[in-house]
Structure formats: structure tokens, C-alpha cells
Structure 1
């Protein structure tokens, strides 16, 4: 088995990104081995379809000002990161600021350091494509992610409700700079 490589995502990755995003969201937030958030089935289904349908991913890959990277090994996507113009509801955040929107590592790739590598690539890109601070939204219960982001200089700057259908996740807004 070869070592994973980090590369920019392309339209050819849309199907695999959709599957990886859906599976990682379920493994992380829904399954009992993860956080076991009890999302209502209809809300979860609607969220997954809107967020991780291949057509939705294709559209997001074309979004102006956004960037995507994947960690790939032997033709299999193991993790991805996505950045873009800020969308977080914070009074000091503007669309010219950069936001890390997703950093997903598959369960099978946990512990390989891919999340940290993708984060470093994303932060470098964000620093070069922002007119202000960097932003991240993170689920309030994900202490591991919060600890990782704190190690890179992010501090809690606010809170908001992130919709998963009608269900609202309590999220923290993190800022650096």
C-alpha cells in the first residue's frame, strides 16, 4: 500500500467526495461509535441529500473563491478539506474572509495524520485568499476538532445554530487573526 497524497479536488472526484462526505458524516455524528446525535430521519436524509449528492458536490467544486483538496491513496479518497468565502454568522466576519468549511477524515484513515496535513494546506491557502481573519465552525461537542484548531491559533469567537434539516446543532465559531 502506497502513501496517501494530498492534491486539489477535481470534478472527476465528485462521486467519491459525495460518498466520502456522506459516510464520514454518518460515522462521526450519527453512528453509536461516533457522537450518536439523534437526528430525525427525514431531517438527516434531506441534509445528506442537499450536502452530499454528487450534483451538489459538483456545484460546490465550481463555487467562485472556494478550494477543495483530497487525500488519496491507491485511487481511494480517504479525506478532504474545503474552504471558501466566509458564511458564518458573526458580526465581525465578512465574505472576504476565508472559512474552513469542512475537514473530513474517513474512519478507516483516522490516525494517519491526514487531517493535520489537509488543515495545513487549507490554512496556507486561506491565508493567501483572505482580507481578514480565518474562520471555522465546529460542532460544540467535537472536543478533538476544537483542540486541533486551538493548536493552530483558533479561539472561540461565538456560537450559532447549524441546521441539519429542522434539527439545530449547537456550533462554535472559531477565529484566528
Structure 2
């Protein structure tokens, strides 16, 4: 298998990013962790977060950056998204960088793409932040928390992340 290409996301990736984001969210949080989101809430969240239009708008957001891992056949396998901090922590500022999403498709798990994308994202975040780096992570995702801890992130707080009207308990992680 040819090594997947890590590259900046472009507008033409919007539909594939939306599909990848939608499927990875369902595979991870619904099928994997068994979170019982009410169907209406899950649908509303997925549509708002991962429609091609929503992704295009997010790709154009000032101060945001996106990367994809692309297979030789053009299939998107994973992505990372960073931007100005939006986490609700008293020390957090919009001028600080936040890792917003790091998603790896079920079929690409174990290829090291999450780690590679994280390294690219962290390098970008360090160059585009005037303070600490931030990550929000679901409280039950111990694998992700362990990965982020290996890169120097520590728990700095908690908040609730809305999936429709459902509220997930999330941890706020900070480095620096």
C-alpha cells in the first residue's frame, strides 16, 4: 500500500470531508462508544456539522487550517482541523489555537495517520498561537486522552458539548 499523502484540505474536498466526518462520528461515538444520542439530535448535529456547505464555510474560516490524509486512489482517510480557540475556559482566548477535530476513518485505524496529522496540526498551532494550545475531548475517549497526554496536554477543565439537545461531557485539555 502506498503511504497516504498528508496535504492541506481544499474546497473541492468539502463533500468527501463531510462524508468522512459524519461516518467517523457515527462509527466512533454511536457504534464504538455506544452513546445513545436521540435520533433527531444526532441528525441535526451531523447535518449542521458535516454538510458540504458547512464544511466549505469552515474551510474558509479566518485563522482555521485543515489537513487530510489521502489514499493513492483519492479517498480521504482522515483529517485534522485547527483554528482560533472556542473552548469555554477562563484562561482561553480566541488568539490561542485549538485542535477542533482529529478524525481517522475506521478503515484507516492503526496506520498512524492520527499521530501524523496531530504532529502537523501541532506545528501549525504553535506558529499561530500567542498562548497555550487547547483541545476538547470526550470524557470517555481514553485513547485520545492518552495520545494528547503524550504530547504534553493536561486536563484544564470540563464543559458540555452539544450534539443537538444532547450534552456530551467533555474535558478541556491545555498545553503550554
* Structure-1 residue corresponding to 2:50: 52
C-alpha deviation, 1:146, in angstroms: 0.0
Aligned residue pair count: 175
Q: SS where residue 124 of structure 1 aligns? A: helix
Q: Secondary structure at the match of 1:132?
A: coil
Look up the match of 1:41: 39
Structure 1 vs Structure 2 CA RMSD: 0.4
**5+ unaligned residues in a row in structure 2: which ranges?**
none
Matched residues in 2 for 1:161 and 1:60: separation? Answer: 21
5 Å-filtered alignment, 1:1-177, equals 1-31=1-31, 34-74=32-72, 75-177=74-176
CA distance in structure 2 between the aligned counterparts of 1:3 and 1:139, rounded to whole angstroms: 29
TM-score by length of 1: 0.98
Q: Under a length normalisation based on structure 2, what TM-score does the superposition of the two structures give?
A: 0.99
Deviations 1:34-60 (A, max 9, x none): 001000000000000000000000000
Q: Show structure 1 runs of 4+ deviating over 3 A.
A: none
> 1:3: how far off?
1.2
Q: Which segments of 5 or more consecutive residues in structure 1 lack a partner in the other structure?
A: none
